[in-house]
A and B are shown apart, each in its own frame.
Chain A
Amino acid sequence: DAGVIQSPRHEVTEMGQEVTLRCKPISGHNSLFWYRQTMMRGLELLIYFNNNVPIDDSGMPEDRFSAKMPNASFSTLKIQPSEPRDSAVYFCASSTGTGLGYTFGSGTRLTVV
């Protein structure tokens, strides 16, 4: 298995633009998680899905952020409009129902200028 695949690896965009981050979980994993990491706040859970259904989005910072999981093999995290304070590394992770452990993707480094 190729693991959790995130794209793009790096994104530089101007303030006010829409940004879409993509994630392909490991086949057979039925839970998917989006995290954000900054120096100041560390790793924060934004939202997670079980069987494609959003379960907890309390970590989503504001309405500018939205996440979807249209099927078991794809999820997006969208920021519209983007702001400089959204600059961070965004990680996607997936896990099986057993809760044994997560597998993280390599992350997307977002820079909003």
Chain B
Amino acid sequence: GQNIDQPTEMTATEGAIVQINCTYQTSGFNGLFWYQQHAGEAPTFLSYNVLDGLEEKGRFSSFLSRSKGYSYLLLKELQMKDSASYLCAVLDSNYQLIWGAGTKLIIKP
């Protein structure tokens, strides 16, 4: 079967750095997405990785290792507004998006 694993919940301090991991086992791979979802709101796009390596976008970076079936989202200089759920999703060989259950990130002052 297809599976996406992420930690259920993480806590970090304002101003710090946090890394949210995602491991996947899917039938084929055509890219990996990270989305942010604030409570009661819709998911919004953060990043897309299809090649190995690190993609940096401001305070957020996303890393992919296809051989290890692994990705992480790195958030720097954490702000209170970063409190949200972070969803990892993989595009499989049929170009269907397989979603993880999401990681709830709690930021403390």
The judgment on whether A and B are partners is no
Binding site for B on A (CB under 8 A): none
User: Chain B residues in contact with chain A, CB under 8 A?
Assistant: none
